[in-house]
Amino acid sequence: MRVLVVEDDPKLGPWLCDVLADVFGSSDIVRTLDEARTAVAVRPFDLVVIDRGLPDGDGLGLLTDLRRQQPSLATLV
């Protein structure tokens, strides 16, 4: 299972990424909505964990985009 963590906090993001990698086997981290959109376009993910307060906007905008593109993609906000 591949997990994408969208988190800009320099301590929380890497910690969460490590924990999820231990549980699910693989995880990637990005820090902005733009990076998240690029990551999802390039590689398939089974779960996306989204922070709401990101430097380039609200994570709910990404959630809306993901729901349109991949309705069955598991997400956690």
CATH number at residue 68: 3.40.50.2300
CA 67 to the chain's CA centroid: 13
pLDDT digits (tens, 9 = 90+) for 17-37: 999 999 999 999 999 999 999
Q: What does pTM read for this prediction?
A: 0.93
Average pLDDT over all residues of the chain: 95
pLDDT tier at 59 (50, 70, 90 boundaries)? very high
Residue 18's domain spans which residues?
Answer: 2-76
The whole-angstrom separation of Cα 36 and Cα 31 is 8
Looking at residue 57, its pLDDT comes to 94
Split into its structural domains, the chain has a count of 1
Q: Half-sphere exposure (CA, 13 Å, Cβ side) for 2?
A: 8
Q: What is the DSSP string of 38-58?
A: HHHHHS--SEEEE-SEETTEE
